[in-house]
Structure 1
Amino acid sequence: MTEQAAIEQVETPVTADDIADDLRSLGVTPGETLIVHSSVSALGWVAGQQQAVVEGLQRAVTEAGTLVVPTHSPQFSDCERWSNPPVPDAWVEEMPERMPPFRPAATPSRGVGAVPECFRTYPDTVRSRHPEYSFAAWGADAEAIVADHRYDNGLGDGSPLAEVYDRSGRVLLLGVGHSVNTSLHLAEHRADYETDQVYHRAPVIEDGERVMVEYEDIAGDTTDFEDVGAAFESEVGITEGTVGAGDAKLLDQPDLVDFAVEWFEANR
């Protein structure tokens, strides 16, 4: 969306306070645990862009609650699976050795939008250690949610997604759909169906030293995430509203994950 189109969506610029007020009207409450997926461009013309979205989210949840966002870095994934574009076969074996180590405080996120990349740099925000599937968190339970993020099955149990589940957290889809709803990956890991395992190798920092970690994960598949999300909305229900000029959806994360486990087992 162009900036001109964003201006035409709203009567006045959307501010951080507007975002906080709209989130409260949607049902976001101070003190809750909230995992957020967002598109700043979907909200209309926002004064301060992604920074205003971050601060609006913080004001809605308050320091008594906890915000969680995906800060994934697929540049640390197995390059043999890269397809847009693929890399030459001769590069594959040595790619991890050529990469700098993943650094939670410095490595940029990629492919998750402008809000997470801004959020991860905010004071008192902490980021998990996973080189590909990290999450950043801010608020009362931030440290506990991102601590000890398992390398293997990085979106399953032992991940920040499972920590959100254990805290009866909720999912906020802010101008985006279920195709980017990472909580559905937790359901993939918990569901009982046949899946392929993918091998990973990536450099990280441990005890101040560069080390190469090796781990396995399931081959996740997002192609049916919109289908399972639509089924959940129809059969269980969500809260819908607007934030700025954008559509917003608020839903219970444990209910979603439990529903999706059964859906995947029946439909995959």
Structure 2
Amino acid sequence: MSPVSGGTELTETQLTQQLTELGIGENGVLLVHASLRSLGKVEGGAATVLRALRRALGPDGTLVVPAFTSDNSSTSAAHMERVRGLSDEARAAFRERMPPFDPATSPSTGMGILAETARLHPQSLRSAHPQTSFAALGPHATKITDDHHPDCHLGEKSPLARLHELHAQILLLGVGFNRCTAFHLGEYRVDSPPQRSYRCVIRRDGRRQWWEYVDVALDDSDFATLGTEFERAASGTTAVRAGTVGSARCRVVGFVDAVDFAQEWFPGHRVVGR
């Protein structure tokens, strides 16, 4: 799969072929993390990439993207950075203006243009978690997005657990294992995972209000190292397939393989109570 060179733009047909050669399973379920910029020039941009992914998946395939939001949370890293250096008064005023989560209209933040394009597709369904929602297109979209509990970011009552049940694949398109959300499900599946409080603004009974809840303390700071060790352990198997799509270095990863490896890896590599 050689990248398109020079000023030539990638077409939908070329992308579909390259994605298929990379190992995306026809009529399967695919969780996508992508950097569109890494692909190079694409004729038609994000909409073309989305169509190519759906063509590679086939008519019975299901595409899933993260549609996370941080703009409505006072405990997210993005929010902490945004209010850094503000006075107490300015910080309070900023939080008063923060919008409540609305699954129909709230844009994802930091997920990339492909994820937003998928979320905005007229047939897309979105899970209801106010901070870590997912959007899905295809026959399994309802199963994946339904019943995402508001106090469970990425555990057993989230789309990640449904993706594990469905033996999904993960596409890391121009991004590394540091973006591999599936590893978080492994955090939930260790014995007695550390927990923390989260706070976000929601709309309930027509009213804007703050809501605080306790959930597993999510930590992706070691995902790059975890991914390197997972890929090394998976050498010679189909758990990780690497290749190129356009100009982007990519991996197709077995969801169950990634989660199960992470679950076994965390206890020996993280300090208790981290």
Same fold (TM over 0.5): yes
Task: For 2:267, give the aligned amino acid.
Answer: E
Give the whole-Å Cα distance in 2 for the aligned partners of 1:10 and 1:169: 35
Give the whole-Å Cα distance in 2 for the aligned partners of 1:168 and 1:209: 39
Match for residue 121 of structure 2? 122
Alignment of 1:78-227 (within 5 A): 78-79=74-75, 82-85=79-82, 86=84, 87-90=86-89, 98-192=97-191, 195-205=194-204, 212-227=210-225
CA contact under 8 A between 2:190 and 2:266: conserved in structure 1?
A: yes
Deviations along 1:17-55, whole A, 9 cap, x unmatched? 211111111111221011000011101111111111111
CA contact under 8 A between 2:171 and 2:250: conserved in structure 1?
A: yes
CA contact under 8 A between 2:32 and 2:171: conserved in structure 1?
A: yes
Task: For 1:214, give the aligned amino acid.
Answer: E
Give the whole-Å Cα distance in 2 for the aligned partners of 1:88 and 1:170: 46
Match for residue 249 of structure 2? 247
Q: How large is the Cα RMSD of the aligned pairs? A: 2.3
C-alpha spacing 1:93/1:230, structure 2 compared with 1 (3 Å): same
CA contact under 8 A between 2:15 and 2:52: conserved in structure 1?
A: yes
CA contact under 8 A between 2:19 and 2:245: conserved in structure 1?
A: yes
Deviation of the 1:97 alpha carbon: 5.5
C-alpha spacing 1:188/1:74, structure 2 compared with 1 (3 Å): same
Deviations along 1:125-146, whole A, 9 cap, x unmatched? 1111111101000001001100
Deviation of the 1:156 alpha carbon: 1.0
TM norm structure 2: 0.87
Give the whole-Å Cα distance in 2 for the aligned partners of 1:90 and 1:163: 43
C-alpha spacing 1:191/1:30, structure 2 compared with 1 (3 Å): same
Match for residue 3 of structure 1? none
CA contact under 8 A between 1:9 and 1:45: conserved in structure 2?
A: no
Match for residue 28 of structure 1? 24
C-alpha spacing 1:142/1:133, structure 2 compared with 1 (3 Å): same
Give the whole-Å Cα distance in 2 for the aligned partners of 1:185 and 1:91: 34
Match for residue 53 of structure 1? 49
Give the whole-Å Cα distance in 2 for the aligned partners of 1:90 and 1:179: 36
- Secondary structure at the residue paired with 1:144? helix
Q: Which runs of 5+ in 2 are unaligned?
A: none
TM norm structure 1: 0.89
Task: For 1:166, give the aligned amino acid.
Answer: E
The farther-off stretch of 197-206 and 246-255 is 197-206
Deviations along 1:171-213, whole A, 9 cap, x unmatched? 110010011111011111212365241232321356x665654
Task: For 1:144, give the aligned amino acid.
Answer: K
Match for residue 269 of structure 2? 267
Deviations along 1:151-170, whole A, 9 cap, x unmatched? 11311111111110010111
Deviation of the 1:217 alpha carbon: 2.1
- Secondary structure at the residue paired with 1:197? strand
CA contact under 8 A between 2:70 and 2:76: conserved in structure 1?
A: no
C-alpha spacing 1:95/1:215, structure 2 compared with 1 (3 Å): farther
Q: Which runs of 5+ in 1 are unaligned?
A: 1-6
Give the whole-Å Cα distance in 2 for the aligned partners of 1:243 and 1:9: 12
